[in-house]
Amino acid sequence: MKAYERDAVAKEAEFTPREIEVFASVMLHGTTTKAADALDITQPAVSKMLQHLTEKADFQLFRKSRQRLIPTPEAHMLYAEVQRVFESARGISRAAREIRELRSGRLNICALPAFGSTILPSIITSFSKQHPSVSISLDIRSSATVVQRAGRNQLDIGIGVTSSEENPSIVRRALTATPPVCVMPAGHPLSQLAVIQADDLDGLDFISMGSADPMRRQLDSLCEKRGVSRLLKVEASLSGACIALAASGAGVTVVDRLSAWMARDQPIEIRDFRPHLDLNLSVYRPWGVIASTAADAFTEHLIQTTRSFMNGVDAGIAALGSK
Query: pLDDT tens for residues 168-216?
Result: 899 999 999 999 999 999 999 999 999 999 999 999 999 999 988 889 9
Of 109, 120, 114, 43, the C-alpha closest to 292 is 109
Please report the pLDDT score of residue 239 as a whole number. 93
Look up the pTM and report it.
0.68
Q: 113: cis peptide before it, omega within 30°? A: no
Q: Is 72 exposed, middle or buried (0-12, 13-18, 19+ CB in 10 A)?
A: middle
Which stretches does DSSP call E strand in 77-155?
A: 106-111, 135-140
Query: Which residues in 40-54 are b (16+ Cβ under 10 Å) and which e?
Result: ebeeeebbebbebbb
State the Cα–Cα distance between residues 135 and 189, nearest whole angstrom: 48
Q: What is the pLDDT of residues 238-252, one digit of tens each?
A: 999 999 999 999 999
* pLDDT for residue 306 is more than 50: yes
Please report the pLDDT score of residue 202 as a whole number. 96
Q: What is the pLDDT of residues 17-47, one digit of tens each?
A: 888 888 888 888 888 889 889 888 999 998 8
Q: Is 278 exposed, middle or buried (0-12, 13-18, 19+ CB in 10 A)?
A: middle
Please tell me the number of Cα atoms within 13 Å of 319 on its side-chain side: 8
Please report the pLDDT score of residue 205 as a whole number. 96
